[in-house]
Amino acid sequence: MRTLECGGVLFDLDGVLVDSARVVVRTWDTWAGQKGLDAGRFIEIAHGRRPAETLRLIAPDLDAESEAAELERLEVNDTDGILEIEGALELLGSLPEGSWTVVTSGSRALASGRMRHVGLPLPERFVTADDVDNGKPHPEAYLKGADILGASPETCVVIEDAPAGIQSARAAGMRVVAVATTHREEQLREADVVVGALSDVRVLGQTGTGVNALVRLGLTAR
């Protein structure tokens, strides 16, 4: 077992704490069908990115912001098939209060709705697409997450499942644990550690108190 000590844990949401794959595919299929476009091209790169950035990359002739708003409208009220990732509730419950947050490419309404739907606790503050000018793979979101926790980036550990998120965390100067839930293991090699499932991550203990506290994570690496 590998261990990491950290001053804060930053979780991506979709694919890490919640399984929303069915809803994401259904949303892009519906939207693309209305536009006469190939949904597969968007779905291929959408995971871990804000919808507007996916649209700019694949369909630069469209109004990215207005189309992203339409995708949000389709997605935010669709919870059919959204599930808790096995081990998410247990892991969050074992972390000290104030030592973790969520950094997601989805909107605040989408993120909070999905977490509530599967019964996960919400951190007091978290980072969503509404809070940044630049989405993943830009480091802005994870740097804001570290600031929320009052932790320096180099002491933080990020738990991610997507290459864009791994790149974001690495650019922010953070260590990354990748969970091989939505991407093949070879696509996650930029991470410091790759685990097969979230249940392969557990809290071993805490040293110190207050701003000097460190959480020790145990990882069953691939």
Q: Distance between CA 47 and CA 168 in Å, rounded?
A: 13
Q: Distance between CA 8 and CA 11 in Å, rounded?
A: 10
Q: Is 12 a catalytic residue?
A: yes
> Which residue in 14, 19, 161, 200 is the catalytic one?
14
State the pairing for strand pair 83-84/18-19: antiparallel
Q: Is 130 a catalytic residue?
A: no
DSSP the chain: -EEEEESEEEE-SBTTTEE-HHHHHHHHHHHHHHHT--HHHHHHHHTTS-HHHHHHHH-TTS-HHHHHHHHHHHHHT--TT-EEPTTHHHHHHHSPTTSEEEB-SS-HHHHHHHHHHHTPPPPSS-B-GGG-SS-TTSTHHHHHHHHHHT--GGGEEEEE-SHHHHHHHHHTT-EEEEETTSS-GGGGTTSSEEESSGGGEEEEEEES-GGG-EEEEEE-B-
> Which residue in 12, 19, 161, 192 is the catalytic one?
12
Largest CA distance in the chain: 57
Indicate which residues carry an active-site annotation: 12, 14
